[in-house]
Amino acid sequence: MNNNLNIKKSTRIKFWSHFIKNYYKYRGTAGDFGPEKVSLKRKIHENRILHESEKFGDGVETEVPSYNKNEISIEDFKEKYLFKNRPVLLKGFGKDFEACKKWNLDFFENNYGNEIVPCRQNGKTLSNETLLLKDVTIRELVKDIKNGGSLFGSNLSDFLNENESLKSDINLQEFEKYICFRKRDKIASTQLFMSGGNTKTGFHASGGVNLFYQIYGVKKWTFVNPDYTPWMYPVLRKDLFYTGSKIPWTNPASDIAKSGFPLYNYVPKQVAVLEPGDILFSPQWWWHAIETRSSSIAVASRAMNKMILGSTPFSLMWVTSKEFRALVKSIITTGVATDKTGGALIAFDKKSEI
């Protein structure tokens, strides 16, 4: 078992050189990994990484560090986790929120039932189908969740922007200082997540830091340090607003290897189980995948602080993208990110692509 993959520096450089070159050349126009000749070249890099990783054995799984309320100050949180870009779980820090007292499926159906939101059509699969969107009312979403369906309300920015009173139920201003490097920084986007049990996400990573508030239900998060990106099979997306992977990570290790993703089994992982009132810090460019264990309502609050953080290659591709410029423009002109500039409509698509 290993907790560190110390492969040759030259191997890492070759992987990143290949990825960056072909990202700018193809940008999601030629499949997950580019044309066949490019994909074959990438396989050479992956085999080299695999050969150097075998001596380390399988990656260990450890728990994300956690603190109960009053066990860690804001100053210590920033010094140990925000500035060092490491995940941490704040147990029960939000248990006194108004949201934790009154939010549930019936609350949203009764008060916001006619509002329309874009939802993932199938949150129970890791296939391309999970990325397809459809517009539904909150009432339809709640009914689907109660009936054990697969709709997943994810990254819903516009809904919270249009219903400001919901934000006050979470004490966002109190926790803004946790994830902002400087006093002038502020939360850039706030997004609602609502789904039934047995829904999940694929591995993904993005720029900006995130405080994730679990209001109702239970979720399990699995993190992978961005240092291990060469083991994570990042696809050549159309943009680097975020990055994704098609690793079938919920399968047994042997099946993951057989399906073409053997490197993943060598990667050290950190896990956290979130219950109502828990707040999770998700650092910039850390890979993460989420299992929703029961009907769930949660909120993500995101801030952009130090732009080059977590992964230098991803950070540079992010801040030079047109999608990043659109996000910054939206925040400057309206004060918030929207579904189109930083939420569901950029995270997912009505086309089948990651």
* Contact partners, residue 89, CB within 8 Å, separation at least 6: 64, 65, 66, 67, 272, 274, 278, 279, 280, 281
**Is there a contact between 354 and 348 (Cβ–Cβ < 8 Å)?**
no
pLDDT score at 354: 43
Share of the chain above pLDDT 90, in %: 74
Q: What span, in angstroms and rounded, lies between the C-alpha atoms of 57 and 1?
A: 5
pLDDT per position as a tens digit, 165-189: 999 999 888 898 999 888 777 888 9
pLDDT score at 220: 98
Domains of the chain, first to last: 60-347 (2.60.120.650)
DSSP state of 169: T
Low pLDDT (below 70) residues in the chain: 1-3, 128-130, 344, 346-354
Write down how long the chain is.
Answer: 354
pLDDT per position as a tens digit, 282-305: 999 999 999 999 999 999 999 988
**Is there a contact between 292 and 199 (Cβ–Cβ < 8 Å)?**
yes
pLDDT score at 73: 96
Mean per-residue pLDDT over the chain, rounded: 92
Q: What span, in angstroms and rounded, lies between the C-alpha atoms of 295 and 104?
A: 9
The two structure tokens encoding residue 224: 């992978």
Largest Cα separation within the chain, whole Å, is: 58
Expressed in percent and rounded to 5, the helix, strand and coil fractions of the chain are 40, 25, 35
- DSSP secondary structure, 210-252, as one string: EEEEEEES-EEEEEE-GGGGGGS-B---S-SSEEEB---TTS-
pLDDT per position as a tens digit, 84-138: 999 999 999 999 999 999 999 999 999 999 999 999 988 888 876 667 889 999 9
For the chain, list the strands marked E by DSSP. 61-63, 66-68, 88-91, 116-120, 133-137, 152-156, 187-195, 199-200, 204-206, 209-216, 219-224, 242-244, 269-274, 279-282, 287-292, 296-303
CB environment 28-40: b (16+ within 10 A), e (fewer):
eeeebbbeeebee
